[in-house]
Each structure stands twice: as C-alpha cells, then as structure tokens.
Chains A and B, each alone.
Chain A
Amino acid sequence: MAPPRHLLLLLLLGFLAAASLAFTLTAAVYEDQVGLADWHQKYIGKVKQAVYHSQKSGRRRVVVLTEENVIASLDLRSGDIFWRHVIEKNDPVDELSLSLGKYVVTLSSGGSILRAWNLPDGQMIWETNLQVSKSSKPLLHVLSNNKVAKDNLVFVLAGRWIYAVSSIDGVISWGKEFSLDGLDLKQIIKSPENDIVYAVGLAGSSKLNLYQLNAKTGETVKHIQESFPIALCGETILGSHNVLVALDETRSDLFLIELKGESISYNKVHISDLVQDLSGTVKLLPLMSNGVIALQASSTVSLLKLKGIDGLEVIQSFEQPAAVSDALTITEKDEAFAVVQHTGSEIEFVVKFTSDVTGEVIREKINIDQHRGNIQKVFLNNYIRTDKSHGFRALVVMEDHSLLLVQQGEVVWSREDGLASIVDVTTSELPIEKDGVSVANVEHNLFEWLKGHMLKLKGTLMLANADELAAIQAMRLKSSEKNKMTRDHNGFRKLLIVLTKAGKVIALHTGDGRIIWSNLLQSLRSSKSGEMPSALRICQWQVPHHRVMHENPSILIIGRSGADSAAPGVLSVLDSYSGEELNSLKLDHSVVQIIPLTVKDSSEHRLQLIVDSHSRAHLYPRSPDAMNVFLHEMPNTYLYTVDIETNVIRGHSLQKSCDNSADEYCFSTKELWSIVFPSDTERIAISETRKMNEVVHAQAKIIADQDVMYKYLSKNLVFVATVSPKASGEIGSAAPEEAWLVAYLIDAVTGRILHRVTHHGAQGPVHAVVSENWVVYHYFNLRAHRFEMAVIEIYDQSRADNKDVMKLILGKHNLSAPITSYSRPEVMVKSQSYFFTFSVKAIAATQTAKGITSKQLLIGTIGDQVLALDKRFVDPRRSVNPTQQEKEEGIIPLTDALPIIPTTHFTIFLSQSYLTHSLQVEALRGIVSIPSKLESTTLVFTYGVDLFYTQLAPSRTYDSLTDEFSYALLLITIAALVAAIVVTWIWSEKKELRDKWR
C-alpha cells in the first residue's frame, strides 16, 4: 500500500511546484521579460558636424555632433551607436574635432568648456574650463594639428581670447587675451614651415587684425591692422592657405584678402558679376584650400576658383537644392570634395578634385525615398579599394533629419534621426481584422505549441541551458501576435503617430516600434525664401465609429508657416493608415492656441477651435454641419489664455461671427475675466489642466468611516503656479527669504480662485500634473534644500449632504441638478507635501479606459528614467498613525519623504518601479499615457532623444492572465488531477473488493 502512495505524493508535489511558478505575480519586469512588451530606440538628432576616424584597421567610426546637442560615435558599416553623450541644452556644443586619432575634442558653452573624450568607449578624459570674453559670439574654431606630433596642441578661439591646450591632458599651454575692444577672432592658420600661428580677427566689423603668434609660447610676434571701407558681416572663410574670403554686411560683395607675412592686401568683387540670381541670403560654404570656394545663393550653389586675389572665376553652378562637402585631403597635394544635387526622384553624387574642378572622379545616381525631402549636408570620406584606387562614400543629412550612408550608388544604411525631436504625439487604432484571416495559422501545430511551453517551463524552473534560454527569448520576441497590423481585442496594438520638428509625420507600431509609414509634409518644409515653418500639434481629425465605419481615421497636423507666432498657420489632414495627405490648407490667420472640442459633426469629424493672435477663434472643419453642431455648443464654450510675459490669465467667451470679416467660421471673443498677478511679487511659472480625454469612474470617494466625499470634477480646473521674481532663476540664485511659490486652483469659466496656497522658501522649476480632482506638483524647497512634491485634492462640499439615503430615495438630492460654474462652489481642499529625492524632468499620470484602476504618477527622473509611483503615496489623507479603518482603506502612514526605495512591507500592496528598467530615455521630454481597451493596462510612450514604449498595469493585470501564464501547465495539472482520480478510484475499488473477501 505504501509505495504507490509515495509515488502519487511525489507526482502531486511535482505538479504543485510547477503550478505555483505559473502564478507568481509581478510588479516590475523580470530580466528575461525585457523587450516583450516594451521597446527602446536610440537616436542622435540632426547631424551638424561629422568627423571620420581615419584608422587603417579596426572598426570604422564616424563621430558626429547633432542639433540635439548629442555627440556620438557611429559604426560606419551599420550606423549603430558605439557610444553617445547627450549634453545639456544650456551647454551647447559648438565644435567637434579629433585629436591624436584617439580623442574626440568638443568645445561648448560659447568656447568656455573644452572636453576630450576617449574615442573607443566615450569616457571623458579631461575637461578644461576657459575664461573667454563674454561678448564673444558662439563662433569658434578648434584646430588640432595632428601632423605635428610633438606638441599636440588644440587651439581655441573665442571672442578676444586664444588658447593653446594640450590634447593629452587638457593643460592650458598658453592663453592670451587681445586687448582690442570688440575683437572677434575668426580664423587661425598654422604656418606649415615654422612655429607661427596666424590669428585673424575682426574688430568693430570693419577692422581686420592679423596676429602672428608663436605657437609654443603664445607671444605676439607681429600685429597688423587693416581698415575696410565697408563693414563686413563677419562671415569669412579661408580660400587657400593665405587668402581669406569675406562677405560684406549687405552680402553683395566679396573681399579677397591676402595675408602676407608683413601686410594685408585686399580686393573687392561684386557677387552680381559672378552669379546672376541673388535673391535670398548669400552664404559662403566652408570648402577650403586649393583656391576653390563655394557660394550659396537661394537658387544656386556656385563653385568659384580664386585667381590670386585678383578675382574669382565661376567653374560650375548647381541648381538648388544641392550640398557641397568640405574638402578631404587625399594626397599631399590634392583634395577631394563632393557635390550632391537632386535630379528628379534621385540624387546625384559627384566627387571632384580641387586640382581639377571640371573633371569628375565619381558620378553616381542614388535612389532615395522621396519622403526624406531635400539634401542638406554631405560629409565625404574616402577608402582605399583593393586595387589601390580611391573609393568614396559620404554621409548625407536629409531635410527630415535622417542620416544616410551612400556608397557605390546605394544607400548602405539610414537612420531616422528626426525621431529625436518629437513635437507631439497622438495614437490611432489599427484596421479591424478582416474575416477569413484565421488566427489559428499563427499557432502551428499542437506539438510545436506544447514544445514551446515545455521550454518556457524549463526556463521558469531554471533548468534551461544557455542555448535554450536564447531560444525562449527569440520565441518570445518573435511571437507575431503583437506585431500584426490589425486591431487586437485588448487594444494593445495601435499606431503611435508622431510629429517631428522637421515637419515629418511618422507612424510607429506599438508592437515593436517599427515605422509603418512616414510623410514629410510639403506645407512644413522650408521654402526657398528661407522661411522655416514650425510644426505645432497633431490631433485626431476623424475617428470613425458607427456611421462612417468604412472610412479610414484621419489626423490633423497644425503648423505655422514661419518661426514667428504671428505667421499664418497651415493645416494638413493625413490618412492614419497610409499616411497619405488628404487635404492641406494654408490659413489666412495665425495660430496661437488650439482647442480640440469634445463635440463631433455628423461625419465624426472632431471640431477644433484655433485662436489667432487677434483673439479671434476659427472653427475647423469648415462645413455647415460642423457649424450647426458648434452653434449649439457655443454658449457653453469658454477659453482662457495664459500670458506669461504680461503675467495675466484671461478668460473669454465666444460671440457670433467676427466684426470685420465675412468669414462665418470666425468668432470674436469677449473678455470675461482676467487675473493679473503682481509682477513684482509673482511670475507665472506653469499652468496645467486635466487631459481632455480623461475618464473618471467614481465621482465620490468612500472614506474609512463610511463617509462619502464628492470629488470636484470640473474640466475647467486650471492649476497655476507662480514664483517670486528672484526665485525664477536656478537653484542657488535666491535666498529662502526672497523665494516663494504660490499655487492656485482657478475655475477657467468664471476666473474664480478656488484655492490659493503659498509655499515660503520654495522655488522652481515647477512641474505639475492635474488629474481627476487632484494636482501633484514638484518644486524645490530652499529651506530644507530638498526637492518637494505637493498634492492638492479638491472636493465638492455642496453635494456632501447627499449622504442621507432617505433623501436619495425621496428624491430630495441635488445629484441631478445641473452643475454650473456660475454658482459659487463650496469646495473643500486637502493638501500635503513630501520631500522627493530628485529633480524631475516631466510628470504624467496613468490613464486607463474606464478610470477604475488606481492611478500611478509617471515621473521622469534626472537620470532619464521613468519612475512609476503609486498615487497613494501622495494622498493628503495620509497621517502619522492611520486608524485601523484607514489602514484597511490602504492609507500609508505619513512619512516626510517619498520613498524611492521600495520599502518591503509596502511592496505587497504598492508597486513602485522603474518603467524603463535598466534603459535610459536620454534627454527625456515627455511621457504620454494612452489607455488600452483592457481596463487594467495603460500604454506608456516616453520620448526625448530616445523613444521608449511599454505597457503598464498600475494595479497589476487583474482582468487578464499575464503572458507568463502557462496554458500547457494548466492542461497538465488537469490531466494529472483526472489521472489521480482514476487511480484512487481503482484503489478504492480494489480495497472494497479486499474488504469484501475478508
């Protein structure tokens, strides 16, 4: 009897073990779950400078500097990032250079910070601070003389200062300030023969100064000054080793300046003699040496050959858009450069030698995706082919900020670096799955399926070896389910549609972050006259539901045709599924404020109100149908504007039609109220409102003692924070006595201040998030010298007497009474504040489909990560000793600081985790939470220079089984149970038989 029982016991225990593992619930991810529901993409931004590492062997690299202030080392073969540093925006990097073939030298902050980075791994080697004159323009030159190996000096020119710094350890070899007033050094020329450097500077725009300096000591050997009859605009380039080409102030004449050892002589050339069309701004392109320069006008790029200083000769002109690369030294005598221009849908890549400009070394036609726009920059590089001849490749920067490597007539790789500068994000549903497409095809046969699950089981039991682990990971990532192009039941699969600074709209799939479509909007491309349009906003335009189900959803992109806020606006409507531009509109008014309304017209178009600089509101779409819908809504539509410059908040109502315009879709506004903050004591730091699409499930909150508190849920609630003028600077600039922060809760319809609280000794930067009936804001407390996070919750007292059940039954309640902002609200406000360890870059709150799931705060930390903090940590009802009832409700005992460290006894109830786990979203700017159809889960998209997407379940996935759930195990358990029943039944039968025989 005993042996079979033991066997059974073992069997049962085995399944028990397996079963329990399938049920461990998680808050944060396990290390092997990385990449299952999340993806991370690294970008660098639009490249403005590229330096090739000319190493004969080993991995070929290119070091780039971008407009997002990123320095990065890229693999030239694949475009992958070796290393990357995102430098803070207030420390702009101006120049980048290579030194000694192993250091990357960068000059930033107007020439005052010089840094050297190790080329292989990006480690900072040294940093030197330089004292430069404040008046200097950020026009700087780093010159590293690699050829002279003995001293390895790096020269820095900024304003009146010149420095020579050793590139090995960053020690300043010598530094010199020229005493001339208004001097701005422009060029440095190293004499090839001796240790003399020539520094050329402009003083007072028309006096050219030439200094001869000893490169080793910095002693001034000679100083020559030459006055010019016309002012120069400051743009100078070196035509050849001793000829300087300068543009005059009107940009219509060129000065050819010869620098001889003893004197300066110059000659004036009219540009109009050389180039016919001179509309727009004329620029000199920095192509140097052997007497070839490039001149860029608005319609052409011309190559000019210097004939001493006597004159210039046009060699060739290229139609714009075209780009010319810098000269690249091939042999001791010869240099090559590239010209790239558009021919139809292709680009033409031409390489020439400066010694023979009319000839061509290479002419290649390369097919390029037309959604990349025009070519903007080209960086040429050469390599030695197997037959010892020179081959050329080039990095090409396109209008949409993408970076391409072209070689042998082909695009070798491309980087979509426009995604480093996202302006706005929206989402779109994917198309519904068509009938006939069977899901069963995905799950091959049962055997394969079981095998996969057995492998997973092995992984969870930690029995799998390395190969099997890799197979599991690959299987998980491959699971095609999440990458399908159709809508899923849980609403996890969506399109993230982003608008980039370049005016490109890109749709990313939430499954793996791949680009579904992209479209560089014609209306947001820079025009020939040099106007730079700016992309502003992306909103839903048409979200089809019942009636217009067969139509594709569409999105609206709003931009300005210029950088100025008074520039007329541009609208584009795009199909969300294909990215095709359906409609494009040039507005005759400016765009100051965009108000998406909650109403839709009969064809499911979302109504949008655009306010222009004359405070007139314009309705879109312009259709009588939309107009009818809007006229109903108009009496209840109020707008408010926050004017940070004049320190005023104004509220407006709309009035029918504009006074002096025949446009019936235009409405004039009437000022209803204004709040003027006294400028000498308060400055508006931030204003924040609830998300328009937020869903709130419960209007009331039942607190511990069976009492009910009604949330004050007004869509018109505006949070405004002001700081004292002295405290509006950075931390450390104000004393606690002269710093304060005032937080306001304002009703945007009436302008009534619902709540006002002053934090003495507090200062910005302020970050805030408003959700439901609460505001959480982050600021710096100067007295404690720590960051603080405060919460304000606002409750409606007027409905507080509805607690009586009898009244509810008898209908004596006011729950169905219309809520109007004009009745004086009786509100009750609770607030509390806590210390928070770090400074914060962004705060958001999670949004779910029905608003039932408890909220989490998503905090972008100083380390460019996203911390998910349960809202219950910032609950003003926290007290030091919560009662038993309050504890049951989930109130946490009050602590003076918010824990970054998840304390053990809370983790059971409260999750706090890094959403980004061990990844960083460099230069984090925004966090967007998008509800999925599954109530427990929200989709979080974080953007900065990098992109990160993940799914988050603030209260864990209570409404679905996790991916971890092993169905195979469930089946096995059931089978085991059935087997056990059968076995025990047989035993009992046998036993009964035996008993009967007895």
Chain B
Amino acid sequence: MAARLLLLVLFAVVAARVGAAAAYQPGSAEGHTIAGRIKIDAASAIAKGFGLPAKTSNTKVILNGGQRVTFARPDGYFAFHNVPAGTHLIEVSSLGYLFSPVRVDISARNPGHIQAALTENRRVLNELVLEPLREEQYYEKREPFSIMSLLKSPMGMMLGFMVIMVFVMPKMMENIDPEEIKQAQEQMRNSPVPSFSGLLARANS
C-alpha cells in the first residue's frame, strides 16, 4: 500500500523576489520562496475509503509550527513566499496520511542554495522525492476469523475442556488395561485410608 501511494514533494526552491513581477520593487528583496509539491495517489485515496480523489483539498502545509499555513493546489503544488534565510520546518497535515516534517535550510550567503531533509529519518532530499511514512490507521481492523483466537477465549476454553472430557477421557479409560483398572480398584480398597465405600464393604462382610 505504501509503495502505491507515492508522495512526491518536490522542492523547487527559487530565491525569487516576491510578487510576480519584479517591476513592483518589493520592499524586502531578501525574501526567498519555498515551493514544493505534494502528490497523493488518487487511486489509493479512493481505495482507502476516504472518498474524494480531490484529497488535497484539505491538505495544509505548515511552516514553522503555524507561523504560516498554506493549502495544496489541485495539482499538489504549494509555495511559501518571502521566507527569510535560515532553518525552517515544514509540516504537512492531511487527514489519513502521516507525513514527516521537513527541515529546510536557506543559505543567507549563497542565495538560492537550499537544502531539505526529512527530520524523521534524516534523509536528505536533493532532487527531492519524499516517500510517505505511512497511511494512518484510524480504526482497529476486525480480526479475521481464526480457530486459535476462538480457542483462547474463555468460552472457547470452557468448551475445549468439555470436548476433552467427552472425547478424550473415555479413550484414555479404554486404553488402560482392564486388569490394571482392577488392580487399581483393589489398591483403593486395600488402601490404609479407609474410604466410605470400603467401610460399608467391611461392614457387610
């Protein structure tokens, strides 16, 4: 499942002046743009039962623990504009999937040089493909029918014991040599501890 759900976060990072056109002389030219992409395999989203293939409609991308939040577009692209140089953290919140936070380093000296790495497993993302950590399991799965789990339950044990008593005990009795039984019975009669029946027998004799 995890392999089918291919999540690609492509960080095309551009040190751009903010605003679309440079002619509007932005006030702070040192702002950088972090642009990336989230791709959730639509087929797997449907298979999972979360319904809509437009799964990205509620995918939020969070910069620095809530400093800025943006939403993924239909094609999965997102961008943060005017981000100062430094080390930043990007988290992705999407219902049904677990995303690793991403550490993004924007170099101040070397404009345009940006590094990204997953914080969970410290994998560096170069030409950056991020594999999904996993899909969330919100519900317990109903355990499939299995004999062993039946036998382990208290009622199962109760019944199991009964089965043993019904079928195995007679067999065991059968297997014992009849003479041995007699011997045992003799022994019991002659045992020093007087049983009630023994007492009765003696009284009769």
Contacts and interface: CB of A to CB of B under 8 A. Distances in A.
A731 B105 CA distance: 12
A9 B159 CA distance: 10
Given A126-B73, A863-B95, A984-B166, A730 B139 contact: no
A730 B67 contact: yes
A431 B18 CA distance: 62
A90 interface: yes
Nearest to B139: A31
A16 B21 contact: no
A460 B145 CA distance: 10
Nearest to A920: B95
A30 interface: yes
B146 to A, nearest CB: 9
A129 B18 contact: yes
B87 A732 contact: yes
Contact of A918 (B73, B96, B149): B96
Contacts of A126: 73
Contact of B162 (A12, A176, A731, A863): A12
Contacts of A20: 149-153, 155-156
B178 interface: no
A733 B69 contact: no
B127 interface: no
A136 interface: no
Contact of B159 (A15, A127, A731, A765): A15
B9 to A, nearest CB: 16
A434 B72 CA distance: 56
Given A20-B152, A131-B26, A839 B140 contact: no
Interface in A962-998: 970, 973, 977, 980, 984
Interface stretch (A80-88, A704-712, A751-759): A80-88
Contact of A131 (B18, B65, B66, B156): B18
A786 interface: yes
Interface string B98-133: 101101000000000000000110000000000001
Interface in B161-198: 162-163, 166-167
Given A20-B149, A977-B158, A30 B71 contact: no
Interface stretch (A117-125, A655-663, A952-960): A117-125
B152 A732 contact: no
A901 B121 CA distance: 14
B136 to A, nearest CB: 7
Contact of A837 (B52, B62, B101, B151): B101
A677 interface: no
Contacts of A733: 86
B69 A91 contact: yes
A91 B140 contact: no
A71 to B, nearest CB: 11
B20 interface: yes
A839 B136 contact: no
A475 interface: no
A958 to B, nearest CB: 14
A897 B101 CA distance: 14
B67 A864 contact: no
Contact of A732 (B26, B67, B145, B159): B67
B10 to A, nearest CB: 17
Contacts, number: 183
Contact of A12 (B21, B56, B163): B163
Contact of A23 (B86, B137, B139, B155): B155
A127 B27 contact: no
Interface residues of A, number: 77
Interface in A9-23: 9, 12, 15-17, 19-23
Given A91-B68, A124-B73, A837-B101, A17 B150 contact: yes
A130 B19 contact: yes
B158 A134 contact: no
A412 interface: no
A172 B19 contact: yes
A23 B154 contact: yes
B159 A977 contact: yes
Contacts of A901: 98, 133-134
Contact of B167 (A5, A124, A780, A917): A5
Contacts of B153: 19-20, 22-23
Contacts of A970: 155
B64 A732 contact: yes
B140 A172 contact: no
Contacts of B46: none
A112 B111 CA distance: 24
Interface in A680-739: 730-733
- Of A34, A462, A785, A897, chain B has the most CB atoms within 10 Å of the CB of A785
A16 B156 CA distance: 5
A392 to B, nearest CB: 33
A786 B69 contact: no
A115 B25 CA distance: 22
A780 B101 CA distance: 13
Interface in A859-880: 862-864
Contact of B65 (A16, A460, A730): A730
Contact of A123 (B56, B65, B86): B56
A413 interface: no
Given A129-B18, A732-B87, A83 B57 contact: yes
B44 interface: no
Interface string A148-176: 00000000000000000000000110011
B140 A30 contact: yes
Contacts of A9: 163
Contact of A765 (B65, B94, B120, B136): B65
Contact of A731 (B19, B52, B89, B134): B89
A118 B173 CA distance: 80
A905 to B, nearest CB: 16
Contacts of A674: none
Interface in B12-70: 18-21, 24-27, 50, 52, 54, 56-58, 62-70
B5 interface: no
A369 B72 CA distance: 42
Nearest to B94: A863
A172 B20 contact: yes
B93 A863 contact: yes
A454 B117 CA distance: 54
A128 interface: yes
Contacts of A115: 71
A28 interface: yes
Nearest to B59: A124
A914 B135 CA distance: 13
Nearest to A840: B65
A862 B100 CA distance: 12
A29 B66 contact: no
Nearest to A462: B142
A815 interface: no
B162 A786 contact: no
B140 A29 contact: yes
A133 B152 CA distance: 71
B69 to A, nearest CB: 4
Interface of B: 18-21, 24-27, 50, 52, 54, 56-58, 62-74, 79, 81-82, 84, 86-89, 91, 93-96, 98, 100-101, 103, 119-120, 133-134, 136-140, 142-143, 145, 149-156, 158-160, 162-163, 166-167
Interface of A: 5, 8-9, 12, 15-17, 19-24, 26-31, 34, 83, 85, 87-88, 90-91, 115, 121-131, 133-134, 171-172, 175-177, 460-462, 730-733, 765, 780, 782, 784-787, 837-839, 862-864, 897, 900-901, 914, 917-918, 920, 970, 973, 977, 980, 984
Nearest 7 interchain pairs by C-beta: A19-B155, A20-B150, A20-B153, A863-B93, A839-B65, A731-B64, A129-B81
24 contacts: A16-B155, A16-B160, A20-B153, A23-B153, A23-B155, A28-B139, A30-B142, A90-B66, A90-B68, A121-B57, A123-B54, A129-B19, A171-B20, A730-B67, A732-B64, A732-B67, A732-B87, A786-B119, A862-B62, A863-B95, A973-B158, A973-B159, A977-B162, A980-B166
